Structure 1
């Protein structure tokens, strides 16, 4: 979402955005915007011609007050936020950026549904930077919480799989060029679904065999669409084709095994399942976190790349140290230690009592409570 204003610059001098600027008259501008100085803008500001004047996340100073005055812009406290003690972007701003990126993906997918043309440049400039920014600046569990589906599952899922895949790629020490390729491929992994009937995508009941065969075609369709898009690679197209393949040969469309499945596809397969299982969709409720982790862990020695799955579980569980959780027996506790050989079953503390879930197999983690440290990204 952007803010656009109709006022234009006026005489004398040159504005930073290419227009003419009038001479300063007293301290009127400074006084008008004084209450905004030192606060951070929460969204991009554009003029009536669509030229970016001040970017989101900018901390406003006197120079920005000049730009606001020159363009006749009136901002309120709802357009800015306080800056934390270390100047980091807030969770509120990052969440808004993610929601805006998801809205962009929805618009692009609607366009692709009609034209079958992928606007790759828009994805690279309007979606990928937001994913990178969020993955770099948000605590892992905060990112996970923000990307759980609220609505528009297909579009939020595409962004979520992009974010989780980027993190996995970074943890696997892929190069910057490979990370860009991987993240773009992950966002586009389900692009073939734009050519599947909406009534099938949104059907709450179990699909018939014929309907499932139709649904599986999205892998082949997506492969062809990406392959024909200027600026993409064969490897990116292969992610759309292979993200439902499984290491044990049980996947589709070709039943590939082991290293016949590209590493990018193995990464996206894990990210895809992880987000899908923890999200509410038209056909299923989200699974409890412990169930998702347990299933991924068991799949690490059959369906999924064990290196990728182990890395995701390790990073996710380490990120939860200090978080409060609800156990399946109703006990509220705090995670204090992750066992290296039983990572999904940590040591937790409930009051003065310590519970070692690696030994107490009758209970599991059912729910993780959000952190109380508020708005600041970590």
Structure 2
């Protein structure tokens, strides 16, 4: 039955997932409602939910340890701040399209609180592609690249100040897209040569938007210019390579491609982080800073044991072991109890990360 959020009682149980702007539920079906869930629903401006009501005597007998919950209090904090950041970035982007200058203070206000929450819960990096959607991809991409970049910076041992600056760089890499014709950004079919050449100008356009601004490191501005450059010189817009690339640029380039390849796009389905990292290691060998890419692979695998995943053969299981020599191909215990070593099964990939 449908119940208005203001009429929910603790102990009611959701009969359907509740979604907001993300592709995954903010509160899952089967969750026993508590006060914090009601606050979460109100914060996301959810008006009604579907519940199956439980009698008070049954509520007292419910073993809360067995109640399946999709979202913890910390998860809720992250989702709320993330969604707010995406919404605020969208407003900023629309302002840039209208000709207004970048308000660095506002961008920092959007990204810094989210970075601080995400770094306390690094497993969220594995799930960022679930939050994005095709229609508003460019806004989700900016926030997610900022988070992934800051995660990498922390693991590289940077100071908090540099972590924030690299996160800021990640969030700003596509600011120049605001100067590209809007019809190109929303085009559903393949771009023609002229349109693609215009897209390739966005690093230069973004660099011009930031050049000369105070309160931002030169490394950040260089990252906006160089985020599509590659170690072997095959990138654009200038074909810069190797030691000519700023260290910030090397970090955000990896974060940019990682999120783009894991996310659903107009022309491509989303892919799992494990499959994408394997492609980046093998298919794009020599294009990225190998030490930074290897670090990202290692760090993501460190907290993936226990993660529930779906394989390309549609079997669902849990990661039980990470081979230190094959981080992207762990051992997965499927629901039947069988353990599959993906290192021995090149025909299988992890298709999706479920939890």
TM-score, normalization by structure 2: 0.76
1:315 is matched with 299
User: In the alignment, does 2:168 pair up with 1:181?
Assistant: no
1:212 is matched with 196
2:343 is matched with 358
For 1:314 and 1:327, locate their aligned partners in 2 and report how far apart those are by CA, in whole Å.
Answer: 21
1:241 is displaced (CA, Å) by: 0.5
Please provide the CA RMSD for this pair: 2.7
1:230 is matched with 214
2:26 is matched with none
Q: 2:143 aligns with which of 152, 159, 164?
A: 159
Q: 2:276 aligns with which of 292, 301, 323?
A: 292
2:48 is matched with none
Pair 1:110–1:367, CA change in 2 (3 A): same
1:355 is displaced (CA, Å) by: 1.8
1:195 is matched with 179
Give unmatched runs, 5+ long, in structure 1.
1-34, 36-59, 61-74, 371-378
Deviation digits for residues 156-188 of structure 1 (CA, Å, limit 9, x no counterpart): 110000000000000000112211211111111
SS of match in other structure, 2:105: helix
1:347 is matched with 331
Pair 1:80–1:326, CA change in 2 (3 A): closer
Pair 1:353–1:282, CA change in 2 (3 A): closer
Where is the helix percentage greater, Structure 1 or Structure 2? Answer: 2
| Aligned 8 A contact 2:271 2:352 in 1 | no
Q: Select the structure of larger CA radius of gyration.
A: 1
Pair 1:78–1:211, CA change in 2 (3 A): closer
User: In the alignment, does 2:121 pair up with 1:137?
Assistant: yes
2:12 is matched with none
For 2:260 and 2:41, locate their aligned partners in 1 and report how far apart those are by CA, in whole Å.
Answer: 34
Pair 1:357–1:260, CA change in 2 (3 A): same
1:304 is displaced (CA, Å) by: 0.9
Pair 1:281–1:329, CA change in 2 (3 A): closer
Pair 1:100–1:77, CA change in 2 (3 A): closer
> Number of residue pairs matched?
295
TM-score, normalization by structure 1: 0.72
For 1:148 and 1:306, locate their aligned partners in 2 and report how far apart those are by CA, in whole Å.
Answer: 27
1:12 is matched with none
1:211 is displaced (CA, Å) by: 1.2
Give unmatched runs, 5+ long, in structure 2.
1-8, 10-34, 45-63, 66-71
| Aligned 8 A contact 2:126 2:273 in 1 | no
Q: 2:262 aligns with which of 261, 278, 286?
A: 278
Q: Which moved more, 1:152-161 or 1:285-294?
A: 285-294
| Aligned 8 A contact 2:258 2:273 in 1 | no
| Aligned 8 A contact 1:118 1:229 in 2 | no
Pair 1:277–1:136, CA change in 2 (3 A): same
> Which 4+ runs in 1 deviate beyond 4 A?
75-81
Q: Which moved more, 1:153-162 or 1:131-140?
A: 131-140
Q: 1:246 aligns with which of 217, 230, 248?
A: 230
| Aligned 8 A contact 2:229 2:235 in 1 | yes
User: In the alignment, does 2:310 pair up with 1:329?
Assistant: no
